[in-house]
Structure 1
Amino acid sequence: MTDQVTPPADARPGQVAPAAAVTMPPVTPAPDETKIGASRGLAAWLTKNKTSFAITSYQSGRLLLVGTMPDGTVSVHQQAFGRAMGICWDRKGLWLASRLQLWRLENILPEGMVAQEKFDLTLMPRSTHITGDIDIHELGVNAAGRPVFVNTSHSCLGTIDPIESFRPIWKPSFISELAPEDRCHLNGLGMVDGRPKYVTAVSQTDVPSGWHGRPLPKGVIIDVETDKVVTDQLSMPHSPRLAADGKLYAVDSGRGWLVEVDKQTGAVRDVAFCPGFLRGLALINGYALVTISKPRYGRFEQMPISEELTKRNLDPICGVMVIDLALGEIAEWLRLEGDVQELFAVELMPGITCPMAIGPQSEEFHGTVTFDAEIKPLEGQG
């Protein structure tokens, strides 16, 4: 289920406009419902930065892996995972949160092998932890290799547990108890040196669904280690990320801006505006990758982004923007049209050129069997 995306002949870097598109083969939806276009320079950008990336679409239930074909065109490989949300690249494998469970996908290709003469990574689900519907948003992995996730339903950070649905490990100081009430819409998680460091929340409310207020409440970034509110000057923030140079970035989704936040003063600096609802964020070599989505109900309900789009005479789109942080400009892009209207996470996969995955609903899933041919007794049995 791979698409070779050819950019339009007249596309320019930074241009956010309809692209020449290809029709996606069916996964869950019917044929001819999803089209993908890419900027002319996206494949070259991926090659230069020696990376590929993964994105999730919870609205259409998909994991999409974006890389570069041997002929230099963009590859988009997709598989179905119900309500695919947070993802984390770790040890050449992928953690993926879905509606009721946390999946672990492992690379089943032997070192140096290339599948179908193009794929240098084949991800296969090898384990899953059943959490129940706790609305996992972003996730990361700590220094011990243990997943850490945002349990949005219970307003806390959690990890997996062999017996329980989850094990809570931190909650904001303003949350009085853990209850499945989504009190503040805790959503984003930034890991630093193998530890959870920053989180985002839409509000500092401690009542069921308190973040749904109008006008929009002040969104916050919180330092997990100190419980300090780094800033409360954001509108529906998401995805706090610390860059290699120590700068703190996030997406100010209600306004449509990628922003830099001063860690000491909380001052917010606008970096780049994107025409859609921002969620995911990944940083590499002076660039930021962000996912943008169309409005869920046809319009951005009294959000500041609505006025900004009108002022710029832009329509919201769904896709991934590659932003040059130094210039504050969109350098490259991937755009989706059709039945995929919303994206969630974006995760870089450094060192991988052309990835693919085998999903639990695919035809290949039942017949893909791998094993080490060497017979080895169990430990302790001689």
Structure 2
Amino acid sequence: MTEATEVRFQHSTSLPEVLTAADCALLVSTYQAGQVAAVGVADEAVTFSFRRFDKAMGMALGRPGLAVAGKDQVWLLRDHSEIAPALPPAGRHDRCWLPRSSWVTGNVANHEIAWGTGPDGAPDLWVVNTRFSCLAGLDERYSFVPRWRPPFISGLAPEDRCHLNGLALRDGSPAFVTVMAASDTAGGWRERRNETGTVLDVASGEAVTTGLAMPHSPRWHDGRLYVLNSGWGRLETVDVSTGDRAVVATFPGYARGLAIHRGLAFVGLSRIRETSTFGGTPLAPYHDRLKCGVGVVELASGTTVATLELTTAVEEIFDVQVVPGARSPSFGDDAESDDVWVLPQPQ
């Protein structure tokens, strides 16, 4: 872990009520600031707890714990909610995750990760390995284990050929991925990235829909496929039989990171910079009006019902995850020290 940047927030007055009514808390990764933030509610006020990770990217919450993809490793944090009420301030928190182990992958540009279900029914972590243009598993003997790659990728190479970045599971198995272009050359996705974004069907390798601007975060929810058309700041649904898309909502930011819970979509938003990645993005002309944070939208109406904004130090976030049934999560304590220990009960 590295020294992190201080991150400050502001939020709509509706956010505490929305989170309480939805019976959930949020996890937000901010790779630029090297933080994962747990966002909850206590005494009708929004609470924050932070944990530092070098370039925090995708997150996956499942039975084994909370996995966080970082710069050159994937961290595993175990659930120690039994100690949460004792953490300062006493009585505020009801969930707690503490780091216990990690897989060292090297700098392979891990993006989204997700807990699936293995052949034996055990939890199985899938990693979007962007640099090698593949979906991978983790094994203590290897840097990573390649499991799937788009059919247009001719071989494994650390060349970020198509910018594979997002993963949607269905029934515990990879179902859809997002790429910025169907390119098989090193960095080839950059050439026309605002019009070549594609959602691929993992089983067939075929395109489900294309023509998106730098898409991210495909999600299969309640029998429907959702995707973020990031460069346009849109949440869209995709008809998997025709490839047609419909806009659910438009946001004042580069949309990346999506969680859906109880009829609400929690969408990560970023401001954009004039770089080799973001230059010429459709949202670029509006850069002075864009927000960085989370927008909460009612799926049925497309109405924004709450917002959370990062106001200092950071312009980009990567992932948003919902913690169902949680009120006010913690990463150990709000002083960001490692002075929290969990020991086995004496015999």
Same fold (TM over 0.5): yes
| Aligned position for 1:209 | 187
Question: Residues 170 and 220 of structure 2 are in contact (CA less than 8 Å); yes or no, is this contact kept in structure 1?
Answer: yes
1:257 aligns with 2:234: yes
Report deviation, 1:194: 1.0
Report deviation, 1:215: 6.4
Report deviation, 1:317: 1.0
Q: Structure 2: any 5+ residue segments left out of the alignment? A: none
Q: What TM-score, normalized to structure 2?
A: 0.92
Residues 92 and 161 of structure 1, relative CA distance in 2, 3 Å threshold: closer
Report deviation, 1:327: 1.3
Report deviation, 1:301: 2.1
| Aligned position for 1:126 | 100
Q: Alignment partner for residue 65 of structure 2, among 78, 82, 93? A: 93
| Aligned position for 2:260 | 283
Question: Residues 150 and 156 of structure 1 are in contact (CA less than 8 Å); yes or no, is this contact kept in structure 2?
Answer: yes
Mapped partners of 1:189, 1:275: distance in 2: 24
| Aligned position for 1:160 | 138
- Cα deviation, 1:111-136, whole Å, max 9, x if unaligned, reads 89553211111110011111100000
Alignment map for 1:363-374 (pairs within 5 Å) = 363=337, 365=338, 367-374=339-346
| Aligned position for 2:250 | 273
1:334 aligns with 2:308: yes
Q: Structure 1: any 5+ residue segments left out of the alignment? A: 1-26, 376-382
- Cα deviation, 1:331-366, whole Å, max 9, x if unaligned, reads 10100111011100000010111001049x942x2x
Report deviation, 1:233: 2.3
Instruction: Give the number of the structure whose alpha-carbon radius of gyration is greater.
Output: 1
| Aligned position for 2:214 | 236
Alignment map for 1:106-255 (pairs within 5 Å) = 106-110=78-82, 113=85, 115=87, 116-143=90-117, 144-214=122-192, 216-244=194-222, 246-255=223-232
Mapped partners of 1:119, 1:281: distance in 2: 24
Q: What TM-score, normalized to structure 1?
A: 0.84
- Cα deviation, 1:20-54, whole Å, max 9, x if unaligned, reads xxxxxxx733xxx6431111111111111110010
| Aligned position for 1:295 | 272
Q: Alignment partner for residue 355 of structure 1, among 329, 337, 340? A: 329
1:73 aligns with 2:45: yes
Q: In structure 2, what residue type is equivalent to 1:41?
A: S
SS in 2 for 1:208: coil
SS in 1 for 2:226: strand
Report deviation, 1:192: 1.3
Q: In structure 2, what residue type is equivalent to 1:68?
A: V
Residues 92 and 352 of structure 1, relative CA distance in 2, 3 Å threshold: farther
Mapped partners of 1:214, 1:228: distance in 2: 20
Report deviation, 1:325: 1.2
Q: Give the share of equivalent positions with the same residue, in percent.
A: 36
Aligned residues: 337
Report deviation, 1:151: 0.0
| Aligned position for 1:58 | 31
SS in 1 for 2:19: helix
Mapped partners of 2:8, 2:126: distance in 1: 34
Question: Residues 161 and 189 of structure 2 are in contact (CA less than 8 Å); yes or no, is this contact kept in structure 1?
Answer: yes
Mapped partners of 1:111, 1:215: distance in 2: 47
Report deviation, 1:300: 5.1
Question: Residues 148 and 159 of structure 1 are in contact (CA less than 8 Å); yes or no, is this contact kept in structure 2?
Answer: yes
Mapped partners of 2:115, 2:298: distance in 1: 27
Q: In structure 1, what residue type is equivalent to 2:9?
A: I
Report deviation, 1:374: 4.2
- Cα deviation, 1:246-266, whole Å, max 9, x if unaligned, reads 111110011111111111000
Question: Residues 322 and 330 of structure 1 are in contact (CA less than 8 Å); yes or no, is this contact kept in structure 2?
Answer: yes
Mapped partners of 1:34, 1:61: distance in 2: 10
Mapped partners of 1:44, 1:362: distance in 2: 27
SS in 2 for 1:304: coil
SS in 2 for 1:211: helix
Mapped partners of 2:81, 2:224: distance in 1: 36
Question: Residues 16 and 46 of structure 2 are in contact (CA less than 8 Å); yes or no, is this contact kept in structure 1?
Answer: yes
1:48 aligns with 2:24: no
| Aligned position for 1:9 | none
Q: In structure 2, what residue type is equivalent to 1:142?
A: G
Question: Residues 267 and 295 of structure 2 are in contact (CA less than 8 Å); yes or no, is this contact kept in structure 1?
Answer: yes
Mapped partners of 1:92, 1:167: distance in 2: 19
Residues 203 and 83 of structure 1, relative CA distance in 2, 3 Å threshold: same
Residues 78 and 362 of structure 1, relative CA distance in 2, 3 Å threshold: closer
